[in-house]
Structure 1
């Protein structure tokens, strides 16, 4: 935004001899630039940094610049601006040139700053250390943390924190017998070192909470989990759901009709498909989708989806990638079975195994399930027990930190995923 402000006013100063500041035209340019940049993923950290990383970022910047130019051309055509060609060559071209240069330089600087990760020392018992090591092992190369993981059984020889190095410390479940360690940690805190609980480190750095680190006592005492029925947050979220779902249903009705027509034309089978899922507190609810699989696809019972699943029809692949098949569930949001944002509801048959294999799985039932959620925008579509465990860790983060702002952020991320056709496609097996 700063690069656009400077670029606009430098161009204005060069052409008209004065500093314009903010104006209606600059606001339109800024909104266009930010929208295209966000939808193209320009503001997101890439999963890999190959040799073409810088080129791809530059192409995304040029895409935003082209969007600004197209908006100007459309505006000029609509209002028949006489000197549009002069303004285009004399003002808009220099403006986007400045913006591309300044924005690219700014992004390079931000990338260098983000690469300087905070140094952490994580101190806990052996079982929690093994969980953290596994969580860090699941991360991509670009998100690796600068961490030293210390087991309390070996702490006497290894645990040294040099003063003044800007280290932060995450502390797990320590035994009361570790009095010497507790004393040393207190002295470090007296010296100004940052010390946080291990679960808080997970929230800050991983933006999720591994279920294996949760204890029942912590659940009873923990702050957060503010979405209680009857609370103000609960009522505000419900208002957001009803208004948002009604607006989306009106806007998406043509897509829903077109999708239904394509489903029927492909095999003349039923347009809609109904499933029983687990809702609030695990109560069964019915959800409706546009049918994306062949008729009788689950004649042998519930199954995980898979890469290139043969049960999915040709039209169904498109509907799933764009998530158009989920649009009928907006009615379930209005009637109160679903929320716009929340953990995705799972099938009771599958949940029986998940509750047995994943600790604290039923916590996700404390909140009304949603069309999209923190897990859906942060993790690929899952089709295994391990994927469900990872998604639960994101759901736990959402339950503890739920707010209207977080719902709005998830909504924006969902729009970006849908615009890039990154829908319900299982990831390839490792």
Structure 2
């Protein structure tokens, strides 16, 4: 995503200035018009999914990508035509045909070439050998089965990895991820070190999970890894923690002011539908498991939990008509911005769960309580990578993403989660539970 966005930025910058140089005979540099063109192109491209891998459901992925690129080009044209005050060139009579059209055509061609090159490079993936114990292999095979065909075709999980390494000749090239090995076996370590001396890529198995799956299976987390592994920089009292907290406060204040009209309109619609209370209060588990209250705009009927706490389900009859709308746009979550201000929540972090449900999850999922090591958030890595979950299986999958965030949390990852959240909200995605 970063590579494609950078290529598009460079393409538009170069095209804009070269055409400007030919038409006006000077190099314009970074102007308001150029910034507008870049911002429009990148925003539309991201929201349309140009920077994401093609979906398995796309019958003609290349045609779909070309159409999305055309959409970005048309958006640039629409912005400039609709807001001519942002666009200043000397030759006003020919600016559309002589400047804007050549600009978007050049950007379209260069962006398409860059995307094709990136697709070609991404298909040249490493061949991985995963040296794992039988327990690790069982977990990994299930994780890999959830991925796409490309991942399965270039990855082999082995429980007899040393024998396999011996059978590889000197010209064989592969990358190796090492899980549990017998600490008393010098032979195993010697074989792995010899492979590393040849210049092959050798990493711990959990690092492979992070690099390739972007999550960490909870069954594979060991105490030694928690103590020795790098990362875990977002700890209370650290500079990163303070910077994140400052950003939370400023961000929450801005969002409260910007979304106050939406909350007001949603509140009125909720009351008009059934004359019930506008807000709904729940107890959640926060940092270190501390209990706190969150407020949400009510999206279910007043007596939704008369039979006790239940998992949400697709087509849940308890959800009101207004509730479906505000859930799709995540408007029901907006009152939680006040919990961000008082420090119970962060803008980005693992979603807090209800204590009653957590008791069940802690028994069923290994290392579940590790997610309490970091302040929960309105949105998180699990929320932008995995659909809305409503089962123990889904909670286990989301925990694997939370563990990834726990080790890799930082400003860059928070920014990525933020823009992914914007895309989810704009497309009303991720608000429905998975099919059972």
TM-score by length of 1: 0.94
TM-score by length of 2: 0.93
Give distance in 2, aligned partners of 1:398 and 1:102. 35
- Residue 407 of structure 1, CA deviation: 1.1
> Residues 313-392 of structure 1: matches in 2 within 5 Å?
313-392=320-399
Counterpart contact for 1:273–1:289, Cα < 8 Å: yes
Specify the alignment match of 1:70 in structure 2: 78
Specify the alignment match of 1:102 in structure 2: 110
Give distance in 2, aligned partners of 1:424 and 1:96. 35
Specify the alignment match of 1:259 in structure 2: 266
Give distance in 1, aligned partners of 2:351 and 2:377. 5
Give distance in 2, aligned partners of 1:331 and 1:160. 61
Q: Sort the Cα spacing of 1:144 and 1:79 in 2 relative to 1 into closer, same or farther, 3 A.
A: same
Give distance in 2, aligned partners of 1:146 and 1:244. 42
1:285-324 deviation digits (Å, cap 9, x = unpaired):
1111111111111111111111111111111111111101
Q: Paired residues, what number?
A: 428
Give distance in 2, aligned partners of 1:61 and 1:269. 47
- Residue 21 of structure 1, CA deviation: 4.7
Residue 136 of structure 1 is aligned with which of 116, 119, 144? 144
Specify the alignment match of 1:272 in structure 2: 279
> Residues 234-245 of structure 1: matches in 2 within 5 Å?
234-245=241-252
User: Partner of 1:193: helix, strand, or coil?
Assistant: coil
Counterpart contact for 1:208–1:394, Cα < 8 Å: yes
Q: Does 19-28 or 172-181 show the bigger shift?
A: 19-28
Give distance in 2, aligned partners of 1:319 and 1:85. 47
Give distance in 2, aligned partners of 1:296 and 1:85. 65
Is 2:67 the counterpart of 1:89?
Answer: no
Specify the alignment match of 1:289 in structure 2: 296
Is 2:176 the counterpart of 1:173?
Answer: no
Aligned-residue CA RMSD in angstroms?
A: 2.1
User: Partner of 2:83: helix, strand, or coil?
Assistant: helix
- Residue 144 of structure 1, CA deviation: 4.2
- Residue 136 of structure 1, CA deviation: 0.2
Q: Sort the Cα spacing of 1:144 and 1:314 in 2 relative to 1 into closer, same or farther, 3 A.
A: farther
Specify the alignment match of 1:193 in structure 2: 200
Give distance in 1, aligned partners of 2:256 and 2:170. 58
- Residue 222 of structure 1, CA deviation: 2.8
Give distance in 1, aligned partners of 2:270 and 2:123. 47
Q: Sort the Cα spacing of 1:416 and 1:50 in 2 relative to 1 into closer, same or farther, 3 A.
A: closer
User: Partner of 2:319: helix, strand, or coil?
Assistant: coil
Please identify runs of 4+ aligned residues in structure 1 that moved more than 6 A. 77-83
Q: Sort the Cα spacing of 1:28 and 1:232 in 2 relative to 1 into closer, same or farther, 3 A.
A: same
Counterpart contact for 2:330–2:425, Cα < 8 Å: yes
Q: Does 229-238 or 140-149 show the bigger shift?
A: 140-149
Counterpart contact for 2:32–2:87, Cα < 8 Å: no
Counterpart contact for 2:279–2:296, Cα < 8 Å: yes
1:97-148 deviation digits (Å, cap 9, x = unpaired):
1211221222122112112212111112111111111110011346546112
Is 2:23 the counterpart of 1:5?
Answer: no
Q: Sort the Cα spacing of 1:204 and 1:80 in 2 relative to 1 into closer, same or farther, 3 A.
A: closer
Counterpart contact for 1:242–1:334, Cα < 8 Å: yes
Give distance in 2, aligned partners of 1:84 and 1:274. 58
Counterpart contact for 1:337–1:368, Cα < 8 Å: yes
Structure 2: gaps (5+ residues): 1-8
Specify the alignment match of 1:54 in structure 2: 62
Give distance in 2, aligned partners of 1:64 and 1:79. 18
